[in-house]
């Protein structure tokens, strides 16, 4: 959260962090959906957070439970819109609904259902601000929303799984851990990165700033034997993690493109590991994810794996030192670490997340973040596994790169995955 406010994004309220659009098997009853959402908001205090600033900086408040008004759930009838225009019309409403998020009054979670008529499946937009829900939390949110909705539909009182540690307690634990000897022992590892001066990524042109308005996504998929090798074969045979396989391919592909000997990449992780000690946050909803810089040299899978595993505690300490350490000098030193231009995030297997009655519509992101906001990285790679397929989403700015350049990089990345997969045979 402190990282977010430090970026000083334009139109920061309009910053949906959730996968925006789902396809549903059937239309949901609006009243039951609102009651289900109210149940989830009452259960998870972090979803009620309000964010304000004073002379000390940004801070969050967690107000008491209150019955949400009907504006939390919106119905949009698009049954009259033809097939050729319906996606554009959904995207227009996605931008409108996401722009209605409001950090100051706590309107950080909303639902919008699109009725597309009897011949097309309905869609559901989940607008949840980046500050209140990360990917891991979204799994909990969706599971609880689904449970609550079906209970209300049956006429039962919703019963959700027991809560784990409340968000304020988790925050206190983070502050305590940031000042611990364990985290301070990581300072030499992270401090040396402040002396890096990586050359900028090559660009095709400079048509303007790296804005959300110029952001475009390139979608690719890996199937068959290669996907099976990456997701199951190599991890079982060599004891590696899937993200280590993907990062090996990324290091090879990017350095071949740039001609540089190494890759500096920003890794996003779920952030729920050792920082919390015995505190159980397994079903605590909030923004726990971590952003950590990592330097990789292209090489064999085992070499890249070992370099990744040198990162202490999967990178949690970097953010603690950068934002929460009590010594201003330590925070200032961490602020000197260059921000990587390439970001990487592996979501894992989403088959267990997206159930049969709701499926993500990959192409229908719409404008989930304000066009006025800037992008913090030049290229982003998000990967996920689903039903035997590895899905890859590359995000870039048309002000900096052409589609041909990003497509060539994505193709080279897949070629490297094919090479790694053959080693699993």
Task: Kindly write down the DSSP assignment for every residue of 21-89, as one continuous string.
Answer: EEEESSPPPHHHHHHHHHHHHHH-GGGG-EEEEETTEEEEE-PPP-PPPGGGEEEEE-TTS-HHHHHHH
CATH number for the domain spanning 196: value is 3.30.559.30
What is the predicted pLDDT for the residue at 363?
A: 59
Q: What's the gap between Cα 362 and its chain centre?
A: 14
The predicted pLDDT at position 272 comes to: 87
Cβ pair 397, 216 in contact under 8 A:
yes
222 with 127, same domain? no
The closest of 353, 420, 410 to 384, measured between CA atoms, is: 353
**pLDDT value for 356:** 65
Q: 157 and 266, same structural domain?
A: no
pLDDT tens-place string over residues 88-108: 999 899 989 999 999 999 899
Give the separation between CA 277 and CA 297, rounded to whole angstroms. Answer: 32
pLDDT attached to residue 354:
62
373-396 pLDDT tens trace: 999 999 999 999 988 899 999 999
> Is residue 246 within 8 Å of residue 383, measured between CB atoms?
yes
Q: Could you give the 3-state DSSP secondary structure of residue 295? A: strand
User: The domain containing residue 79 runs over which residues?
Assistant: 2-163
Span 295-322, pLDDT tens digits: 999 999 999 999 999 999 889 999 999 9
pLDDT of residue 203: 98
Task: Quote the mean pLDDT of the chain.
Answer: 92
Closest of 338, 329, 317 to residue 184, by C-alpha: 317
Mean pLDDT of 51-64: 90
Q: Clarify whether residues 49 and 141 are in a common domain.
A: yes
Q: Is the pLDDT of residue 364 over 60?
A: no
Are 151 and 174 members of one domain? no
Output the domain CATH number for residue 95: 3.30.559.10
Q: pTM, whole model, 2 decimals?
A: 0.93
Q: For 337-363, what is the mean pLDDT?
A: 82
In this structure, is the dihedral angle defined by the CA atoms of residues 251, 254, 256 and 259, taken in order, positive or negative?
A: negative
End-to-end Cα distance, the chain = 44
């Amino acid at each position: 959260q402190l990282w977010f406010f430090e970026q000083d994004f334009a139109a920061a309220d309009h910053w949906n962090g959730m996968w925006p659009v789902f396809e549903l098997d059937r239309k949901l009853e609006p009243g039951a959906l609102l009651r289900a959402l109210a149940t989830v908001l009452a259960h998870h205090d972090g979803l009620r957070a309000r964010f304000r600033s004073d002379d000390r900086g940004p801070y969050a408040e967690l107000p008491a439970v209150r019955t949400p008004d009907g504006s939390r759930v919106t119905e949009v009838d698009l049954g009259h819109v033809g097939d050729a225009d319906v996606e554009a019309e959904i995207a227009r409403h996605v931008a409108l609904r996401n722009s209605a998020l409001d950090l100051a009054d706590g309107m950080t979670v909303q639902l919008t259902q699109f009725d597309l008529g009897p011949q097309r499946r309905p869609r559901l937009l989940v607008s949840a601000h980046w500050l209140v829900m990360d990917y891991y939390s979204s799994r909990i949110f969706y599971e609880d929303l689904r449970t609550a909705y079906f209970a209300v539909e049956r006429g039962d009182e919703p019963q959700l799984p027991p809560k784990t540690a409340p968000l304020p307690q988790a925050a206190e634990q983070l502050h305590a851990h940031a000042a611990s000897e364990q985290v301070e022992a990581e300072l030499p590892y992270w401090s040396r990165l402040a002396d890096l001066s990586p050359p900028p990524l090559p660009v095709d042109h400079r048509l303007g700033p790296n804005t959300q308005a110029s952001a475009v996504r390139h979608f690719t998929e890996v199937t068959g034997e290669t996907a099976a090798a990456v997701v199951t074969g190599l991890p079982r045979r060599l004891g590696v993690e899937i993200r280590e396989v993907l990062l090996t391919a990324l290091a090879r592909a990017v350095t071949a493109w740039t001609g540089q000997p190494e890759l500096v990449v920003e890794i996003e992780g779920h952030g729920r590991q050792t920082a919390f000690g015995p505190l159980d946050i397994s079903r605590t909803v909030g923004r726990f994810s971590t952003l950590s810089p990592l330097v990789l040299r292209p090489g064999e899978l085992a070499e890249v794996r070992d370099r990744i595993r040198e990162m202490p505690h999967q990178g949690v300490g970097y953010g603690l030192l950068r934002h929460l350490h009590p010594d201003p000098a330590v925070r200032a030193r961490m602020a000197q670490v260059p921000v990587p231009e390439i970001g990487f995030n592996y979501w894992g297997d989403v088959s267990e997340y997206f159930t049969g009655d709701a499926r993500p519509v990959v192409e229908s992101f719409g404008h989930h973040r304000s066009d006025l906001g800037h992008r913090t990285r030049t290229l982003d790679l998000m990967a996920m596994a689903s039903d035997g397929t590895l899905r890859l989403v590359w995000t870039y700015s048309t002000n900096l790169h052409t589609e041909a350049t990003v497509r060539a990089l994505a193709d080279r990345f897949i070629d490297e995955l094919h090479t790694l997969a053959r080693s699993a045979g």
